[in-house]
Structure 1
Amino acid sequence: MQTTQTLEVKSLTLANNQHTRWYRFNSQDEINQATLKSILQTADEAIKKYGSFLIVLAGGSTPKSVYQLLAKENADWANWHVYHNDDRCLPADHVDRNSKMARDAWLNHVAIPANQIHDIPAELGNVEGAKAYAQTLAGVRTFDLVILGLGEDGHTASLFPNQAVDNSADAVPVFNSPKPPAERVTISQSRLDNTHHVIFLVTGAGKQDAVNNWLNGVAIPATLVAPACGVDVYSFGVQF
């Protein structure tokens, strides 16, 4: 791994008690390698402590690059359990499905048992898909690591601005998404909070307005995720 120049903001706590630790990297490769290292370290620690590693994946180009790196690793795959923070209500083999991206980039190339890869059945529609995924999550212990992205509008997972926060179940339907398709399934904010570690991956100058709002205490959806452990924000291409 190349030497990285990072900037950490250690004491940013928002009004909703979300504590953030901000890290700035100099290149896409640096953020990819740092994320890879953190995932593997968290996995090793969780397996030693619990006998399993529970990770929640995000969609997007930066996570995809990290997943492609994971595909080349020799990890203790037999003890990994994989979930998704959201997905689009499209056919399971549609190119825009987060689950298909993760399988193509990584999961199809490693020895994680098939019954430990938990895709969101969003092809069932947002209501039935959410019910089914809530059943999948029922009784699942605290996640070890949640990976999240940040949209230009400040959304994360499929938690969008100006939409009511639905914490009625661990997985909930999304209607009228401002980004197509309109129907999605997302893990709820409260279940995303039930984790030992969160990493936001924030890359690209197009995210600058959302980052500014976040830092200035504006209640964008990304600020909803406020676990007791705080959140790590890995960034490249934005200023703070």
Structure 2
Amino acid sequence: MNSYRAISELAFPDGVRGLQFDDDMQLASELAATVAEALRRAIAKRDTACLVVSGGRSPVAFFQRLAQQRLDWARVTVSLADERWLPVSHGDSNEGLVHRHLLQGQAAAARFIGLYRPAATLEEAAQAADHALAELPPIDVLVLGMGEDGHTASLFPASPNLSQALDPVQPVRCFAMQAPSVPHQRLTLSVSLLAKARRTLLAVQGQGKLRTLRRAMGGVGDEAMPIRSFLRRPLEIHWCP
């Protein structure tokens, strides 16, 4: 018996489906199981797998449960959809978060490709991250989050470089970005790279996020709500109230 049900509040575009869970712990557990199974299948087909995740506070429970999944972690490459331009030792570093909560136990055997690079400017840091991402294998599983302003990864409305980062044929893999309402400068993977993921999942919580999705699906303009870039392609939304 499935432990989820379809989200009945929204009518999703073709190729997008929404799954509703009872609470954040159930969502984290089911998301971890879904991601682990997709990675196992990738390893069985290609001998390796690549997972790209988002940071912030929301993924902690998911990371902890994913780390407990039985998986040949030595064959997995892990990277980030976005990063704050902060040293890894900083409490708000997404890379630090992944190391503390995901790359633990057997999962510590995974290869990690981070985005943070010390540099004189954010633009130089983005160029260094872009160079490092040349080693990123094709993405098997991408797990995104979303803000109530419609941003995903660090693709923020009104941020410099947003139009280039949203360009679906952009060759640049990583861009410098600025979150208008928060203090830290950001690095983000481009939509052209993220959209190549073989499977994309969006994990969101709360009625506010559901209203954001409703606005995104009911309007146009990716720069106004960058999540729209992912609502036109296969996407699996995991949501809990």
Common fold by TM > 0.5? yes
Flag as ranges the 4+ runs of structure 1 deviating above 6 A: none
SS at 2:58 equivalent: helix
Deviation at 1:111, TM superposition (A): 4.6
Counterpart for residue 12 of structure 2: 12
| Contact persistence 1:152–1:206 (CA under 8 A) | yes
Deviation at 1:122, TM superposition (A): 4.5
Tell me how far apart the structure 2 counterparts of residues 90 and 112 of structure 1 sit (CA, whole Å).
22
Range that drifts further, 125-134 or 3-12: 3-12
1:25–1:52: structure 2 CA closer, same or farther, 3 Å change rule?
same
Q: How many residues align structurally?
A: 229
Counterpart for residue 171 of structure 1: 174
SS at 2:239 equivalent: strand
Deviation at 1:8, TM superposition (A): 5.2
- Give per-residue Cα distances to partners, 1:170-192, cap 9 Å, x unaligned: 11111x32132342100001110
Deviation at 1:74, TM superposition (A): 2.9
Alignment of structure 1 residues 1-240 onto 2, 5 Å = 4-7=3-6, 12-13=12-13, 19-113=15-109, 116-124=111-119, 125-138=121-134, 140-163=136-159, 164-167=162-165, 168=170, 169-174=172-177, 176-219=178-221, 220-225=225-230, 228=233, 230-237=234-241
1:6–1:71: structure 2 CA closer, same or farther, 3 Å change rule?
same
SS at 1:165 equivalent: helix
* TM-score normalized by the length of structure 1: 0.86
Deviation at 1:90, TM superposition (A): 1.3
What one-letter code is carried by the residue in structure 2 that aligns with 1:203?
Q
Deviation at 1:123, TM superposition (A): 4.1
| Contact persistence 1:195–1:227 (CA under 8 A) | no
Tell me how far apart the structure 2 counterparts of residues 62 and 8 of structure 1 sit (CA, whole Å).
20
What one-letter code is carried by the residue in structure 2 that aligns with 1:81?
T
Deviation at 1:165, TM superposition (A): 2.2
SS at 1:138 equivalent: helix
What one-letter code is carried by the residue in structure 1 that aligns with 2:189?
I
Tell me how far apart the structure 2 counterparts of residues 139 and 165 of structure 1 sit (CA, whole Å).
25
Unaligned 5+ runs, structure 1: none
